[in-house]
Copies of this chain bind each other. A is one copy, B any other.
Amino acid sequence: MQLKPLQDRVVVQRLEEETKTAGGIIIPDNHTEKPSQGKIVAVGTGYRLTDGSVRNLDVKVGDTVLFGKYSGTSVKVDGKEVLIMKEEEILGILQ
């Protein structure tokens, strides 16, 4: 069973803090919401423009992304917990 997000939503698998690669993201203490890392596992069909056409998302399956710690909604599909969020909530891609 697979979860296909609608439109500009993506499904993200959160990366565990301990699976962080050397030189990876370490979240410093600051006043703003601390971002988390995750891997894109599914993307929607894209943004629906006002003229009816569709704009592809900038992220693709497999991308490692940064997003706000409280972004998205957590669900379990086939026993694996994932997050559904809007692409807008993704801060950047790690390359």
Contacts and interface: CB of A to CB of B under 8 A. Distances in A.
Interface in A69-95: 70, 72-79, 81, 84, 87, 90-95
B91 A6 contact: yes
A50 to B, nearest CB: 6
Contacts of A73: 32-33, 35, 68, 91
Copies per complex of this chain: 7
A24 B2 CA distance: 10
A33 to B, nearest CB: 7
Contacts of A47: 48
B95 A91 contact: no
Contact of A84 (B7, B49, B66): B66
